[in-house]
Structure 1
Amino acid sequence: MTDTPGWASPGSDPTPDGREPGASDPADRPGTGSGAPAPQPGAQPQGPGAQWSKEQPAAGQWSAPTGAPGPGQTPPPPPPGPGWAGPGPGAPGGYGAPPGGPGGPGGYGGGYGGYGVPGGYGAWGGGWAPPAAKPGVIPLRPLGVGEILDGAVSTLRTHWRTVLGISLTLAVVTEIATILLQRYFLNNTATQDTLSDPSTSAADAFRVMGESLLGTFALSLITLIGTLIATAMLTSVTSRAVLGRPVSPGEAWREARPQVWKLFGQLLLLGLIGVGVMLGGAVPGIIGFLVGNENVGITLLVLGLLAAFVVVIWLTVRFSLAAPALMLERQGIVQSLRRSTKLVQGSWWRILGIQLLAGLIVGIAKVVISIPFTVAAMIAGGGDSLAGFLGENGAHVGWTFLLISGIGAVIGTTITLPISAGVTVLLYVDQRIRREGLDLELARAAGVQGAPAGAPGPVPGS
């Protein structure tokens, strides 16, 4: 029988006199006496069935009758509830039985039972289960939708200096580059005039369109780089926030830097997969056009692109946890995609719903923040800025409009980017808790009192 606090040896059930089941009586040992049992106070059992008390407790309250206590003895305490061990001798506030142990179907190994209801009643005999430990921004147990969203906001609120410092720095750098590109490349009145002129040659039109697409690509690339770096650093911050540990921007960057290039490679691979799926969906329509049947080609093209879009959405959710797997487990690019597939399996709709809800909240917040700045920019910039914003020919957006609207974009990105990144990381942690018991590893890493000893596994942020 082990003496480790918070653990119970499977199958051990001490008898009232303190001996293990099956242990030999000292009176039966050679040289210890006549073999007669030592006298015990109170009534002695007369047969095998006399060890059971005539008055039994209600079903589900005790594990098994262990004999009527004699004078001066106290009844044995009820066994611990599922998932956690209640306070008692040798297990002060510790964890409950390990997976597959005496917790039975209601314990941690066969289902969460009352473990998912903090401070409520467990599935084992209606016993009370204490709340899960919460060293950081989330409780260490399977999370609900509200707890995931609240954990992302709590990370922003608790570690606001680090979180806002990271997101604000990268938002400012990204927005400055965006304003310069919009002013000098994407706000060219000559480009608009060329494309709107009916006498423009095809060569000039293609040249102008190429320049515009190049500027748009550069703008998207700059935004993507800033978002990826910020997401990588915020992933490290959120993983530490789960353990209740602060982290500085420098520490977050040192942890994220070795994996940043892999993160770019992962995004590039996912982009190529998406483009390949869309091209594959367009192939039947292209073949229809080549054989000369325009109506069939259009029909096949539309249906193929719709089917390809559905596949892209399915793959997007399937690989949505690849980034935190790559950052926190130090996985390779392909291995992180496989890891995400394993974690998402069986929870595809749940993860899609949470991601859509988080995206809706983030999108509404960005719009609400940007609207006052956009209106102020239109008023301060005058009629030309409004006409340029609406895309009228011959009009361009001025510096005043770009600067004021850029301030709104920076504020919106600074606030919403940490929430979006935090939701993805906490979804990853939640799936690992549900599938792999990561809460036990997190409890040990956070130094929660009574966490079971054992070989530590991978812990986010370690």
Structure 2
Amino acid sequence: MSDTSGWGPQGWGRHGGWTPPPPPPKPGVIPLAPLGVDHVLGGAFATMRRYAKPLFGTGAAAYGALAVVMAVAAALAYLSVREHVRAVSEPGSAFSWDHGMPVLVAFGALWLVGLLGTLAVNSFIQASCAATLHEAVLGRPATFAAVWRRAWSRTPSVMAVTALLSFILLLPLGACVLLVVGLFVMILSGWAVPLGMIFLLTLVVTPLAAWLYVLFAFAPAIASLETAGPLQALRRSVRLVRGAWWRTFGISLLAGVIVAVASMAVRLPLQFAMPDPPPVDPDSSTSTVLLDQLSSQVGLYALLGLVGTLITQLAASVFLPLVTAVLYIDRRIRKEGLAHTLAQAAPVQPYAP
């Protein structure tokens, strides 16, 4: 008597033919089973399409708030040092630290505000992507207000994760920069240093930085979806990526290539179609020349290029974190059996926007 145990009801059919197993449940944008590359990318695109309002609404609002903050900060920085700026920029004026130092300090503070603001906005968008995907995988609705509240509550933790990750990545890159500077100093001092060492060092540091980046890639999603602290999120990302580094790297790289191709598809036609700028009168003032350029077709194409760049930047800032978050869910499905938990949490009737 043959042993047919282990095949289950989806094994051999009543008439001896093989019956394929039933497909995994799919209450939302991805099937609740180990995912292929098509499911990872398709899940990110489906989330962008079905949940466009909470995703792009929160992203546009965050970037708009950053633009307002930067405009106010730039105006305050200029107003605080405008006399020094005029003294430095006057034709024929000699540079003086009495005027140059306040200008450097003011615009250095503006750069710091921009850096912190960009970090906060990017962290908020990553948290909002994870919050939206949490509902999209289960097939539940996600409103703008709900996504905003959940993302805002997890933004500090995601910011801390991003800052720690940036510091970790800067360690090998900073060491490379210091060594390169040291080599050039030795060369200028008359030491015989093979320049091939710089190339060799780049070959060592670049893969190290990529390895570290992929190793901690899931940390922002973990900090948002598991309400984990920064260090806990980094450690857990390492555990999840272990054994799937190349797969995570390859799919993330493919997502980056898709973003780069889409960006070029928007910008290159405008650049090739841009007409020649109008002639410039040498006797005209700078403001007159600038107004002539902006009022011509060059200004129109420049405006269209700016709008296209902003749209592609917003899409990229949403698409890439979504891909990483889907990969994170895939790893939990494969290593921790998350599919069963998700199937139990999903509603009986999936959400159909």
TM-score (norm: length of structure 1): 0.58
Distance 1:179 1:366, change over 3 A: farther
Matching residue within 136, 147, 152 for 2:44: 152
**Cα distance, 1:128–1:220 mapped onto 2, change above 3 Å:** same
Asked if the contact 1:235–1:324 (Cα under 8 Å) also holds between the matched residues in 2, the reply is: yes
> 2: CA distance between counterparts of 1:307 and 1:204?
44
Correspondence 1:439 to 2:339: yes
Partner of 1:134 in structure 2?
Answer: 26
- Asked if the contact 1:135/1:242 (under 8 Å) is kept, the reply is yes
- Cα deviation, 1:86-108, whole Å, max 9, x if unaligned, reads 99xxxxxxxxxxxxxxxxxxxxx
- AA aligned to 1:140 is L
Helix, strand or coil at the partner of 1:364: helix
Q: Is the 8 A contact 1:263 1:323 kept in 2?
A: yes
Distance 2:290 2:55 in 1: 36
Which residue number corresponds to residue 8 of structure 2?
A: 79
Distance 1:286 1:422, change over 3 A: closer
CA displacement at 1:266 relative to structure 2: 1.3
Q: Which amino acid aligns with 2:122?
A: T
**Is residue 318–residue 344 contact of structure 1 (8 Å, CA) maintained in 2?**
yes
Letter in structure 2 aligned against 1:155: T
Q: Secondary structure at the match of 2:217?
A: coil
Q: Is the 8 A contact 1:370 1:412 kept in 2?
A: no
| Partner residue in 2 for 1:271 | 166
* Distance in 2 (alpha carbons) for counterparts of 1:222 and 1:399: 29
Q: Percent identity?
A: 29
Say whether 1:417 aligns with 2:312: no
CA-based RMSD:
4.4
Map 1:328-367 → 2, pairs under 5 A = 328-367=225-264
For 1:424 and 1:409, the matched residues in 2 are separated by: 23
* Superimposed CA distance per residue, residues 187-218 of structure 1 (whole angstroms, 9 cap, x where no aligned partner): xxx99x97xx9x86899889877777665555
C-alpha displacement at 1:297, in angstroms?
Answer: 7.9
Q: Distance in 2 between matches of 1:418 and 1:404?
A: 21
The whole-number CA distance in structure 1 between the counterparts of 2:182 and 2:223 is 39
Return the offset for 1:404.
Answer: 4.5
Shift of 1:362: 1.3
Q: Is the 8 A contact 1:263 1:333 kept in 2?
A: yes
Please give the alpha-carbon distance, in whole angstroms, between the structure 1 residues aligned to 2:221 and 2:154.
Answer: 11
Please identify, of 419-428 and 325-334, the stretch whose mean Cα deviation from structure 2 is larger. 419-428
Q: Distance in 2 between matches of 1:442 and 1:420?
A: 23
Displacement of 1:248 in angstroms is 0.7
Amino acid of the structure 2 residue aligned with 1:418? V
The structure-2 alpha-carbon separation of the partners of 1:306 and 1:218, relative to structure 1 and needing over 3 Å to count, comes to farther
Shift of 1:330: 0.7
2:5 match: 63
Listed as ranges, the matches of 1:4-403 within 5 Å are 62-63=4-5, 79-81=8-10, 128-174=20-66, 218-282=113-177, 284-285=179-180, 289=185, 292=189, 294-296=191-193, 300-371=197-268, 401=299
Partners of 2:102 and 2:191 in 1: CA distance? 29
Q: Which of the pair is proportionally richer in helix?
A: 2
| One-letter amino acid of the counterpart of residue 368, structure 1 | A
Counterpart code for 2:318 = P
Mapped to 2, the partners of 1:214 and 1:404 lie a distance apart of: 31
In 1, Cα distance between equivalents of 2:254 and 2:47 = 18
Indicate the SS of the match to 2:40.
helix
- Amino acid in structure 2 at the alignment position of 1:160: A
CA distance in 2 between counterparts of 1:282 and 1:380 reads 40
Name which of structure 1's ranges 336-345 and 274-283 shifts more when overlaid on structure 2.
274-283
CA shift for structure 1 position 166: 1.9
Task: Give distance in 2, aligned partners of 1:178 and 1:369.
Answer: 26
Report how far residue 225 of structure 1 moved: 2.9
Q: Match of 1:439, as an amino acid?
A: A
Question: Contact conserved, 1:319 with 1:341, CA < 8 A, in 2?
Answer: yes
The change in CA–CA distance for 1:396 and 1:357 in structure 2 (over 3 A counts) is: farther
> Match of 2:5, as an amino acid?
S
Could you tell me whether the CA contact under 8 Å between 1:137 and 1:154 is conserved in 2? yes
- Retained in 2: the 8 A contact 1:326–1:333? yes
| AA in 2 matched with 1:229 | F
Partner Cα distance (1:225, 1:403) in 2? 27
Per the alignment, residue 27 of structure 1 pairs with none
Gaps of 5+ in 2: 79-84, 281-287
> Which residue identity is paired with 1:355?
S
Higher-Rg member (1/2): 1
